[in-house]
């Protein structure tokens, strides 16, 4: 079993399979984002070479992210291999290309999909993402629900951009069995745009929602990053994620692997190891796991400690969210 320096069990990996994206969300990357070369990215064989020993060490949950994961060629092949190794696989996607893959995902037992959507207005979608793909994303949402998938809709809350839509998003839960999650904006935008700071702290989001709705607190799962609520009579749920306030670090059970094999023990910290380089230099599974355990032995207590002295705001597409 993998444990960190603070005795936290590590059983969850977020795996970013590409840095590429078909959108340019302003809060995530600049329009002229420089993408990685193919050879810099972990191959599927290399991904399996690190994921297999992680599974053997007790990791049971994997989230596939990116960049936009469905841009990676033959993603279904990788998912098929991973689903034979891990009991729980979920995916975070912008939904533009996702629709046609839903039956295959279901057949692999992958039912948990986080769909990123920051506005319910087509014009504003284009402003935020620099691409006119709103209809495709809404179509994917409908499609996911028709296939009984577990959908979490992630909305990054940006002051002056989409805060007028908080109640509209909450209203979606009246008729749709989805969890709408409001996420504090973080500074990981590749420095393409100014970070609006903590104008929209999670408490302000909750206060705005409570002004209109009765929010009943739900019991949060042990490692949940969201504070979860239910509006009486609604089919879905509400979550608020204090991603910048970092209220949930104490129970963090996750590690991250970036597209280049960077190993992160905290979203706010640097890569502490590179598994691609280790694998390419011939390291065995045991050596790989030994190195991973060393990094966990010095893991920061929380995101504030991790960012100390080394604030660096890569694009989230390089980290995986
Ligand atoms: N492309 C996929 C998508 O957008 O769902 C997966 C990768 S994306 C980097 C993962 C998540 O990170 C998305 O929900 C996105 O909204 C979120 N994200 C990206 N940049 C962010 C930022 N600066 N602050 C908060 N969340 C961010
Ligand atoms: Fe692409 Fe996701 Fe980043 Fe938007 S948040 S630019 S969809 S990687």
Examine residue 5 and state whether it is found in any structural domain, yes or no. no
Cα separation of 98 and 144, whole Å?
9
Q: Whose CA is nearest to atom 25 of ligand 1?
A: 185
Contact 114, 152 (CB under 8 A): yes
Average pLDDT (39-64) is: 97
- Neighbouring-strand partners of residue 263: 257, 273
Q: Ligand 2 within 6 A of 314 CB?
A: no
Of the candidates 316, 320, 27, 24, the residue with the CA atom closest to the CA atom of residue 199: 27
pLDDT of residue 265 exceeding 90, the answer is yes
**7 located within any domain:** no
Average pLDDT over residues 130-136: 98
Q: What is the mean pLDDT of residues 235-256?
A: 92
| Closest residue CA from atom 4 of ligand 2 | 25
Residue 234 Cα to ligand 1 middle (Å): 26
Is residue 222 predicted with pLDDT exceeding 90?
A: no
Give the whole-angstrom CA distance, residue 119 versus residue 71: 22
Which ligand has an atom closest to residue 162 CA? Answer: 1
Residues with CB under 6 A from ligand 1: 21, 27-28, 65-68, 92-94, 116, 154, 156, 183, 185-186, 188-189, 243, 316-317, 321
Q: Which among 215, 258, 254, 252 has a CA at the least distance from the CA of 233?
A: 215
Domain count, the chain: 1
pLDDT in tens, 19-36: 999 999 999 999 999 999
Rg (CA), the chain: 19
Between 310 and 280, residue with greater pLDDT:
280
CA distance linking residue 164 with residue 281, whole number of Å: 52
Planar angle of CA 100, 101, 104, nearest 5 degrees: 130
136 close to 130: Cβ distance less than 8 angstroms: no
Q: What is the pLDDT of residue 309?
A: 64
Give the domain CATH number at 39. Answer: 3.20.20.70
What is the pLDDT, as a whole number, of residue 198?
74
Q: What is the pLDDT of residues 152-179, one digit of tens each?
A: 999 999 999 999 999 999 999 999 999 9
* Per-residue model confidence (pLDDT) at position 305: 87
Domain that includes residue 203, residue range: 12-319
Q: Is residue 6 part of a domain?
A: no
In a domain, 283, yes or no: yes
Give the closest ligand to the alpha carbon of residue 243: 1
Tell me how far the alpha carbon of residue 282 lies from the centroid of ligand 1, in angstroms.
Answer: 33
pLDDT tens for residues 134-152? 999 999 999 999 999 999 9
Atom from ligand 1 closest to the CA of residue 186: 24
Asked if residue 127 belongs to a domain, the reply is yes
* Residue 1 forms part of a structural domain: no
The answer to the question of residue 75 being in a domain is yes
- Which residues are within 8 A (CB) of 300 and not within 5 positions of it... i.e. 6 or more apart? 265, 266, 269, 306, 308
Which ligand 2 atom lies nearest to the CA of residue 316?
Answer: 3
Examine the pLDDT at 310 and tell me if it is beyond 70: no
Region 93-117 average pLDDT: 98
Binning pLDDT at 50, 70 and 90, where does residue 190 land? confident
Q: What is the pLDDT of residue 321?
A: 85
Contacts (Cβ under 8 Å, ≥6 apart) of 309? none
> In ligand 2, which atom is closest to the CA atom of 68?
8
What's this model's pTM, rounded to 2 decimal places? 0.96
pLDDT, position 47: 98
């Amino acid at each position: 079993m993998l444990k960190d320096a603070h005795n936290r069990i590590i059983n969850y990996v977020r795996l970013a399979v590409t840095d590429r994206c078909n959108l340019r969300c302003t809060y995530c990357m600049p329009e002229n984002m420089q993408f990685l070369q193919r050879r810099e990215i972990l191959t599927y064989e290399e991904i399996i070479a690190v994921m297999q020993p992680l599974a053997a060490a007790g990791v049971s949950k994997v989230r596939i992210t990116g960049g936009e994961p469905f841009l990676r060629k033959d993603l279904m092949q990788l998912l098929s291999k991973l689903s034979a190794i891990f009991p729980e696989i979920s995916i975070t996607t912008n939904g533009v290309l996702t629709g046609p893959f839903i039956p295959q995902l279901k057949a692999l037992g992958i039912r948990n999909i986080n769909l990123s959507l920051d506005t319910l207005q087509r014009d504003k979608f284009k402003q935020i993402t620099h691409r006119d793909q709103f209809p495709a994303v809404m179509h994917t949402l409908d499609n996911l629900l028709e296939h009984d998938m577990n959908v979490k809709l992630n909305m990054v809350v940006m002051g002056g951009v989409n805060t007028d839509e908080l109640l509209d998003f909450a209203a979606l839960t009246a008729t749709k069995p989805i969890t709408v999650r409001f996420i504090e904006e973080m500074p990981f935008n590749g420095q393409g745009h100014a970070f609006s700071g903590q104008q929209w702290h999670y408490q302000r989001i909750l206060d705005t929602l409570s002004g209109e709705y009765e929010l009943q607190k739900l019991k949060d799962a042990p490692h949940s990053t969201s504070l979860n609520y239910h509006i009486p009579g609604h089919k879905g749920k509400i979550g608020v994620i204090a991603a910048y306030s970092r209220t949930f670090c104490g129970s963090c059970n996750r590690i991250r692997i970036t597209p280049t094999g960077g190993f992160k023990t905290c979203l706010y910290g640097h890569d502490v190891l590179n598994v691609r380089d280790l694998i390419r230099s011939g390291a065995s599974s045991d050596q790989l796991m030994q190195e991973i355990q060393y990094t966990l032995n010095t893991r920061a207590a929380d995101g504030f400690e991790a960012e100390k002295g080394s604030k660096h705001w890569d694009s989230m597409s390089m980290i995986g969210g």
